[in-house]
Amino acid sequence: MFPLTSNGKLDRWALPAPDGNVFARETYEAPQGEAETALAQIWAELLHLERVSRHDNFFALGGHSLLAVQMIERLRRIGYSVSVRALFDTPILYILAQSLQTQHADLTPANLITSDITTITPDLLPLIDLTQLEIDHIVEQVPGGVANIQDIYGLSPLQD
């Protein structure tokens, strides 16, 4: 039976303090490899833990969506990329580490639209597949036209 307030709601202040060992692991297994070690270190910092086992679950340890975004940004800074979806699908450290991808500086092609360009054509936009008609429609919508367009990106790949 849970303690209730005079209004019949759960009295959170009357609940016993949680046992710190509730989420204790049966056995600790150290992270293996560079990706697992980096991930474990980031989790330990974000979740204020001394150590993280390779079998730990990010959310069971107290992780949440805001910390997930911070984790992804910290991974990006050290050269790894992972989607938020991957974390929610596989919150176990060693499984998530397998889905980490190393970032390469040459993945993003150079911007081909220079200041002397007067017409944007599909071959100038390697990151998106648009017809000339679609490009012309976009240019018409931008005040100042071509002179004010530096590049055109599709949004859905950035959201994955």
pLDDT score of 160 more than 60: no
pLDDT score of 64 more than 90: yes
Per-residue confidence (pLDDT) for residue 106, from 0 to 100 = 46
In the Cβ-directed half-sphere of 100, how many Cα atoms lie within 13 Å? 26
Summarised one tens digit per residue, pLDDT across range 108-138 is 667 888 888 899 999 998 878 899 999 999 9
Per-residue confidence (pLDDT) for residue 111, from 0 to 100 = 80
Q: Where are the alpha helices (DSSP H) in 2-64?
A: 33-47
Q: How far apart are CA 126 and CA 115, in angstroms?
A: 18
Per-residue confidence (pLDDT) for residue 71, from 0 to 100 = 94
State the average pLDDT over residues 77-81. Answer: 89
CATH code of domain 12-104: 1.10.1200.10
Do residues 44 and 51 touch, judged by C-beta distance below 8 A? Answer: yes
Per-residue confidence (pLDDT) for residue 81, from 0 to 100 = 87
Instruction: State the pLDDT confidence band at 155, using cuts at 50, 70 and 90.
Output: low
Helices (H) and strands (E) in the chain, counts: 6, 2
Per-residue confidence (pLDDT) for residue 105, from 0 to 100 = 45
DSSP-derived pairing of the beta strands 101-102 and 80-81:
antiparallel
**Domain range list for the chain:** 12-104, 108-159
